[in-house]
Amino acid sequence: MSTPETPKVGVAAVLGGVQPASTALSQFSLRDRVALVTGAGRGIGLEMAFALAEAGAIVYCLDLPPSADADFLKVQKYITSMPSDRPGQPSKSRMEYVNGDVTDQKAMWKLAQDIAEKEGRLDVCIANAGILAGEECLDYDGEEFKKLIDVNVNGVLFTAQAAGRQMARLGIPGSIIMTASMSGSIANQGQHWVAYNTSKSAVLQMARSMACELGEKKIRVNSISPGYIYTQMTKNFLDHKSELMKKWSAQNPLGRLGRPDELRGVTVWLASDASTFCTGSDIIVDGGHRAW
């Protein structure tokens, strides 16, 4: 039986006559940490990457387009101009755009290795890249089904493998976060998303399984399940379907869609030392959709 180490933080530190090593807020700091985020060129991925960088991390932002767009460059510039939390020293936080395909296993492994060798570490990985497509289940084209599964399931696995291999090699107690969805636990009313829902259900079980395997290496694996979030991906069809926007909004107690920035807090929490006993968990951020 293994007992937890006496902490140098919190009440136990004070009662033991020890100056707490960190405050509650400082436990969320990602200063000097290195992260890899996929699907980070826009939307939820960009928001997550930005949050990690704001918390102090060096963030490698992978996406499929060969170069970053104007929105990414604006966010990247903001991070470089951010004041340092170290008086007299420049901020080390930065966001690096990397072109890559999450469905290429060997390329993902090499990318993570290159990052780890360049920076000397890899602490955080967010396997976020994904696509959404719909078709009636009896007519769903087999090749289209495979394409979605390749990105949403294989791509998540290859990303997590790539980062986990480097964390294990370097002995880093890292954090791997997978973007799942409430659609992995429910069927979305009125939506023909058999492939998407199947893929997100697979991600939930993948996170649990990898958490159990990697626990002995002190690597944590968790998933985040967003509800309906107004992103560039959903905007493309919601802006032309006002009734669907109203319907989705009415399906949660808060009566609205979520925003990408509302995933920032849980992302930094899972990536940081504030969540060191959290692994194999799915964090639901759906405005209460599943409460009904």
Question: For residue 110, what is the domain's CATH number?
Answer: 3.40.50.720
Residue 198 has pLDDT above 70, yes or no: yes
Task: Answer whether residue 164 is part of any domain.
Answer: yes
Annotated active-site residue in 200, 225, 228, 275 = 200
pLDDT on residue 20: 84
pLDDT on residue 6: 64
pLDDT on residue 25: 94
Mean pLDDT of all residues belonging to the chain: 95
Task: Answer whether residue 235 is part of any domain.
Answer: no
Task: Answer whether residue 94 is part of any domain.
Answer: yes
Q: With bands split at pLDDT 50, 70 and 90, how would you rate the model's confidence at 175?
A: very high
Annotation says 196 is catalytic: yes
Task: Answer whether residue 268 is part of any domain.
Answer: yes
pLDDT on residue 21: 81
Annotation says 200 is catalytic: yes
Task: Answer whether residue 105 is part of any domain.
Answer: yes
Task: Answer whether residue 265 is part of any domain.
Answer: yes
Annotated active-site residue in 29, 93, 97, 196 = 196
| pLDDT per position as a tens digit, 24-83 | 999 999 999 999 999 999 999 999 999 999 999 999 999 999 999 999 999 999 999 988
**What does the pLDDT average to over 259-265?**
98
**What does the pLDDT average to over 257-286?**
98
Task: Answer whether residue 189 is part of any domain.
Answer: yes
Annotated active-site residue in 175, 181, 223, 275 = 181
On the 0-12 / 13-18 / 19+ scale of CB atoms within 10 A, 290 is middle
| pLDDT per position as a tens digit, 214-239 | 999 999 999 999 999 999 878 877 88
Instruction: Tally the domains of the chain.
Output: 1
Dihedral angle over CA of 11, 15, 21, 24, nearest 10? 20
Q: With bands split at pLDDT 50, 70 and 90, how would you rate the model's confidence at 241?
A: confident
pLDDT on residue 89: 74
CA angle centred on 64, ends 62 and 65, rounded to 5°: 110
**What does the pLDDT average to over 239-244?**
88
pLDDT on residue 73: 98
| pLDDT per position as a tens digit, 107-116 | 999 999 999 9
Percent of the chain surpassing pLDDT 70: 98
The strands making up 220-226's β-sheet, listed across from edge to edge, are: 94-99, 58-63, 34-38, 124-127, 175-179, 220-226, 282-285
pLDDT on residue 116: 99
Give the position of tokens 């903001």: 78
CA distance 260 to 229: 7
Which of 68, 150, 76 minimizes the C-alpha distance to 108?
150
Residue 167 has pLDDT above 70, yes or no: yes
Q: Are 122 and 166 in contact (CB under 8 A)?
A: yes
CB atoms within 10 A of CB 14: 11
Task: Answer whether residue 21 is part of any domain.
Answer: no
Residue 207: give the domain boundaries.
29-227+261-285
Q: Which residues contact 42 (CB under 8 A, 6 or more apart)?
A: 63, 69, 71, 72, 231, 232
Residue 1 has pLDDT above 60, yes or no: no
Q: Are 178 and 153 in contact (CB under 8 A)?
A: no
User: Is this model's pTM higher than 0.85 or not?
Assistant: yes
